[in-house]
Amino acid sequence: MFETIYPLFPIIYTILNVFSFALYGLDKFKAREDKWRIPEQSLLIASLLGPIGAWFGMKHFRHKTRKPMFKFLIPLFIGVHILLVLWIKV
């Protein structure tokens, strides 16, 4: 079973990170247009699943870069993902 999931992992992980990146871009767009915003909790959940996309989204769109919670949690999520990858490879 694990042999079947392993080739799909990079594809799913990439999709999650692209989704996270796009969510930050969408929220920034909505902020500029003074429209309904994406809740911070939703952004953080997306960041937990796709932290690299969230980090690039924060930097590229200059969005949520001053919020301490985002400044701390996004790098933490990236670190957790790196540790998980290293643990899975061992």
pLDDT tens digit sequence for 4-17: 667 788 899 999 99
Give per-residue pLDDT as tens, 29-60: 999 999 999 999 999 999 999 999 999 999 99
- Mean of pLDDT values over 64-86: 94
Tokens at 39, concatenated: 């809740």
Residues whose CB is less than 8 angstroms from the CB of residue 18 and which lie 6 or more positions away in sequence, other chains included: 50, 53
Closest-CA residue to 50 (of 85, 70, 74)? 74
Question: pTM for the whole thing?
Answer: 0.88
Sign of CA dihedral 11, 17, 20, 22: negative
